[in-house]
Amino acid sequence: MPSKKVALVIGLILFALMPLWYWGIVPKLTGLPSDFSYNAVVFSRDNFYLPEKSDFTGEQVSNTNYGYEVMEIQDGVLIIKNRFEVQEFNGKTIFKAERLYGINPRTHQHVYGYGDQDREGYLFAPPHLRKGQDFVYWHVNYDRPAKMVFQGEEMISGLNVYRYETDYQADQTEELQAFLRDQEKTGINVDINLQLWVEPVTGRMIKYEDRATAYFYNTSSGERTHPWNKFQNRFDEVSILKQVELAKQEKFKRLLLRETITGLLALAGAVLILYPSFINRK
């Protein structure tokens, strides 16, 4: 057994190391990796409007390519590409967008001065999300800040998640030029309902669903003329289960490093500091 003095010194060192471990080392070990990627199969439905019939054509299923991947690292900031492309079964593209986000790997926050534009908020959600905490998220389709409002807790395949929801608007004129007959006078904007399901410890998105109606509008007056498309997107069940398993693994790692090892350091430090007192009683 160590001498009383040595035990006291080691115990004090362990206590001194706790803040460094908790605030310095753990965030590095649990941050987004340099090869971070995220992929899911998105089930999409479109329902186009025919002005000549003053009615929608009926829902049709589309193929959607969706995912995230790190393209490069700049000054410790991850440059992450988010892609989203919707195609008809014949291969014709309905909508395509690619965004570049500058993300702090520790906090998952957007970093000003990086990516294709300055953004606030998070890649998905902040890690160690508090119950009832709201946050800002950018969804690839709409490229606008969406304030996600806490709605409640749910269980998905044994994983506790928080559900968030928001209603907002976006302009998709730039991405939908091919559908505009008069590009100088006509634009397309969208009314959106967006829902996210997030694992709160990791901040990982488990699934999302959006429903939206897009309208043609007069760019001079801002007045909407008629709808263009009613559409919705959501993860398929296989992708949801995949994200659940990945979130469980990441959650375990975070809790092990952040809570368990920190607790063991505190316990070991306390035992060593109290060791002299224990010896003196004998």
According to the model, what pLDDT value does residue 272 have? 63
Buried-exposed string 217-256: b where 16+ CB fall within 10 A, e elsewhere: beeeeeeeeebbbbbebbbeeebbbbbbeebbebbeebee
According to the model, what pLDDT value does residue 274 have? 66
State yes or no: pLDDT of 207 exceeds 90: yes
Buried-exposed string 83-104: b where 16+ CB fall within 10 A, e elsewhere: ebbbbeeeeeebbebebebbbb
**DSSP state for residue 128 in the 8-state scheme:** S
Distance CA 214, CA 180 (A): 13
* pLDDT, tens digit (0-9, with 9 covering 90-100), for 151-175: 999 999 999 999 999 999 999 998 8
Mean pLDDT, the chain, integer: 88
152 forms beta bridges with 163
Domain boundaries, the chain: 31-235
45 forms beta bridges with 61, 232
State yes or no: pLDDT of 279 exceeds 70: no
Pairing of strands 77-87, 93-103: antiparallel
State yes or no: pLDDT of 112 exceeds 90: yes
Q: Which of 28-37, 88-97, 188-197, 255-264 has the highest mean pLDDT?
A: 188-197
* pLDDT, tens digit (0-9, with 9 covering 90-100), for 24-83: 777 788 889 999 999 999 999 999 998 888 899 898 888 888 999 999 999 999 999 999
Burial class (CB in 10 A: 0-12, 13-18, 19+), 208: buried
* pLDDT, tens digit (0-9, with 9 covering 90-100), for 216-273: 999 999 999 999 999 999 999 999 999 999 999 999 988 888 777 777 766 666 666 6
Residues 6+ apart with CB under 8 A from 99: 81, 82, 115, 116, 138, 140, 143
Mean pLDDT for 91-105 is: 91
Q: Greater confidence, 11 or 209?
A: 209
